[in-house]
Amino acid sequence: MTTPAQQAQYEKLMLHALSLASHGPITGGNPQVGCVLTDDAGTIVAEGWHHGTGTPHAEVDALSKLGGNAAGLTAVVTLEPCNHQGHTGPCSEALIAAGVTRVVYAVSDPGKTSGGGSQRLRDAGVEVIGGVVAAEAEEFLHSWLTAARLQRPHVTVKWASSLDGRAAAADGTSQWITGTAARQHVHEQRARADAIVVGTGTVLADDPSLTARGDAGELLKWQPQPVVLGRREIPAGARLREHPHALQQFDGSDLNATLTELFEAGIRRIFIEGGPTIASAFIAAGLADELLIYLAPKLLGGPKVALGELGVATIADAKELSITELRPLGNDVLIVARPATETMVARSATATATATATGE
């Protein structure tokens, strides 16, 4: 039974492990994971994090600092140690071989092949405590966990609009509704995605480059894969043809099939910037996991609304959202929201993990 003092110690160590995890890349298909190895007094003797696909996982990275010998130590890791052979070996076996006597983790690994590490550890006589700082870890790993649980990429839908919900003026002009701070934030979000998705209408009307750029217009280190939905041909001279990654195009008739194909290609996070038609299609299909809405203090009126038909015939059918963040960006405001049902499911999962960890 974990004492209150031990629980407080594990929570403090787990928060540190989460800070370590943030050093790893959010893109590339793998979760950001951090690990600390401690003695019985709670003193950290080694720490590590996952540096990206093909590199040692966080547990192995931490163990390497000790030459692989961690006899009698406790491992505090943000995600349940994996239990499968991928680019690297199973972390559960590495911890057992190193002599770790206790493993504390925050969130269970939902992977069909990678999950189950906690049971493997218990079978080997290692004490396992799960669900420590689960809520914080769930939020930290939100996009990756969503993709792993649903077996499709996490979908973020973005749009910029006036306060009255218009994405453009009556004549179709839309540059620029928002200011420079909001626009730069969009580029930062692009750099956190594995792919950026637009429709052919946006490509033909705006000729976007779909790159992630810095304040001075320079290309950022990570660039999302450009994806276009629609049957119309993309002109040979389109700026998308100059993107660092080759353009992928789907006809857009089956969004679920498209997401499955992208997931199988290693895409875990996609950023939808495709205008009202594409945004509305993903929301109407229940495929939008997060909304980023950039509101400018302007009124435009007219027909150019930010969203189109969502299949809502009456107020009772409204798609309920939970606002997770409100952030000023210069003179604009960013609203981050998620489907209310998803928020409730996440809270339920966290409560279950906590109850399991505490033996309730």
Q: Specify the 3-state DSSP secondary structure of 121.
A: helix
Count of CA atoms in the C-beta half-sphere (13 A) of 226: 22
Q: What is the pLDDT of residues 104-141, one digit of tens each?
A: 999 999 977 777 889 999 999 999 999 999 999 999 99
The beta-strand segments (E) located in the chain are 34-38, 44-49, 74-79, 102-107, 127-129, 154-162, 195-199, 225-229, 248-250, 269-272, 290-296, 321-329, 332-339
Domains (range + CATH), the chain: 4-140 (3.40.140.10), 151-340 (3.40.430.10)
pLDDT band at 347 (very low <50, low <70, confident <90, very high): very low
pLDDT band at 352 (very low <50, low <70, confident <90, very high): very low
pTM of this structure = 0.88
* Confidence class for position 196, pLDDT limits 50, 70, 90: very high
Predicted confidence (pLDDT) per residue in 165-191, tens digit: 999 889 888 878 999 999 999 999 999
- In this prediction, residue 257 carries a pLDDT of 96
Encoded tokens for 215: 């304040």
Mean pLDDT in the chain? Answer: 90
**pLDDT greater than 60 at residue 77:** yes
Mind telling me the catalytic residues? 59
